[in-house]
Amino acid sequence: MEDHHQRDVPASTDTLGETLYSLRLNGLIYAHSELTAPWGVEMPPMDGKMMFHIVTQGGCWLRLPNNESVFLRPGELALLPRGKGHSIASDENQDCEPFFDIPVQKLSERFELMRYGGGGNETRLTCGVLSFDHVMGEKLIAHLPQFIHMQSDTGQLPGPLQPLIQLMAEEAAALGAGGETVVAHLADIIVIYAIRYWIEHSPEASKGWLGALKDPKIGKALAVIHAHPDSNWTVERLAEHAGMSRSGFSARFTETIGTSVKQYLTEWRMSLARVKILQSPIPLADLAEEMGYKSEAAFSRAYKRIMGVPPIRPKHHLE
């Protein structure tokens, strides 16, 4: 019988694309807002979540935690990948009400309609709070900036986004049968487009882990690690996938990512294991095998060394 830990696995040709695919956004709240001046909404910080605002009519000010303010125009997207608290308002210095204190009409389990303000000029927004249930998503979000602004007047808005935002605006305004679902899916697509555009065009995304994903050689090694964490990886085998010598690959990997190949592989496996432990009461022996370890003891030692705690479900997760 073939040893699945030793088998050769194909290298991906689109590591960045696979990373974005694995983001798998889960919408917790989508809100269509019809706001009339003066108005102001204070969004609380939501650690581990991503927040976005898409302006479909009018305009508004977004104020960040560092008191930096930006004006959002129709067709623009504001993305806060790390869920930092912030405010949106009709005027730059407008007082704001906490988001959860403002009455909304519940249209479905995840979709809300907010009508709020003083009766003046109208602004329409589609806003959302997203989570991501994959280790790849967590790692990707950790490497994004605190704020991404896709502007419509500087050529930064990718062509495909414009008709998507227009379609979303029409669906949100009509809210016909199934409209909430259409708006939610369009919002997710728009957010993915924005993240991809930032990664492809920002100088910051050419460094560190994001830069390694785009590296034609290191990216191939990362792809097979991510896709097959249970395989019996060695530096030599990963160097073969990268098309490099062992020493050259090891040095370039450490220089690019900031950690050794073995350390990265262990950290990746333990991050996957942590998610599995939190999601279900998986037997430790099965988990050890899934992560490529021959014994529970070896897996448990590695897990505690990386995570600081044994591989046991926290009490609040126990049934």
CATH number for the domain harbouring residue 313: 1.10.10.60
Same domain, 41 and 188: yes
Q: What does the alpha-carbon distance between residue 99 and residue 53 come to, in Å, rounded to a whole number? A: 13
- The answer as to whether 139 is a domain residue is yes
Residue 276 C-beta-side C-alpha neighbours within 13 Å: 18
> 191 with 53: CB under 8 angstroms?
no
Same domain, 54 and 182: yes
Q: What does the alpha-carbon distance between residue 81 and residue 251 come to, in Å, rounded to a whole number? A: 31
More confident residue, 34 or 207: 34
Same domain, 135 and 235: no
Same domain, 20 and 156: yes
> 53 with 77: CB under 8 angstroms?
yes
The pTM of the full predicted model, rounded to 2 decimals, is 0.78
Last residue of a domain, one of 184, 206, 228: 206
- Phi, psi dihedral angles at 117 (to 5 degrees): 130, -175
Q: What does pLDDT average to over the chain?
A: 85
Q: What does the alpha-carbon distance between residue 318 and residue 99 come to, in Å, rounded to a whole number? A: 32
The residue range of the domain holding 103 is 16-206
Q: Quick one: pLDDT at residue 207? A: 87
- The answer to which of 2-11, 278-287, 288-297 has the lowest mean pLDDT is 2-11
* In the block, residue with structure tokens 């609040």: 316
More confident residue, 132 or 266: 266
Q: Quick one: pLDDT at residue 25? A: 73
230-252: per-residue pLDDT in tens?
Answer: 899 999 999 999 999 999 999 99
SS3 33: strand
- The answer as to whether 304 is a domain residue is yes
Domains in the chain, number? 2
Q: Quick one: pLDDT at residue 79? A: 94
Q: By C-alpha distance, which of 134, 123, 127 is closest to 50?
A: 127
- The answer to which of 3-12, 111-120, 243-252 has the lowest mean pLDDT is 3-12
- Phi, psi dihedral angles at 99 (to 5 degrees): -55, -45
